[in-house]
Amino acid sequence: MVVNTKFLGDIEIQEKDTVYFEYGLPGFAELRKFVLLPVEGNPSLYYMQSLEEVKVCFIIISPFLILDNYEVEISEETVERLGITKAEDVSLFSILTIPEDIKKITANLQAPVVINNVNNKAFQEILNTDNYSVKHKLYRGE
């Protein structure tokens, strides 16, 4: 199927590549279907493009690329909700906030996007910990 995207124009995707958020995302509860598309020139980043609203597209990255010691305990409720049976079937992503001043880019490490790669079900898990921030700064320079 052909979908219109915010950054890439019209592109062809397969229905099997749709990631489904049964409960939507915080602030976007009505949007359920997304597709992950690689950002050209940066294999660490992906567009998480809504298939229902072209203007909604998040830039995401693996939190493990931000913090080597990132640890997450996914709730039992989320494990059941997504039908997760093995940890290796799961991908985690952090949503980036990219302002005009690129030095102020942040990552939401407090609420990772959890995707079951077997059935493409997804959920944004809000972690019950103070170890991470919703605005983790990526730029550490002066």
- In the chain, how many domains are there? 1
Q: Is residue 109 part of a domain?
A: yes
Q: Is residue 41 part of a domain?
A: yes
Task: Return d(Cα 92, Cα 1) in angstroms, integer.
Answer: 26
CATH of the domain at 16: 2.30.290.10
Q: Is residue 10 part of a domain?
A: yes
- pLDDT per residue as tens digits for the range 47-103: 999 999 999 999 999 999 999 999 999 999 999 999 999 999 999 999 999 999 999
CB hemisphere CA count around 16 (13 angstroms): 2
Q: Is residue 82 part of a domain?
A: yes
Q: Is residue 90 part of a domain?
A: yes
- On the question of pLDDT at 142 being above 80, the answer is no
Task: Return d(Cα 121, Cα 89) in angstroms, integer.
Answer: 11
Residue numbers of the domain that contains 76: 2-137
> To the nearest whole number, what is the mean pLDDT of the chain?
95
Q: Is residue 142 part of a domain?
A: no
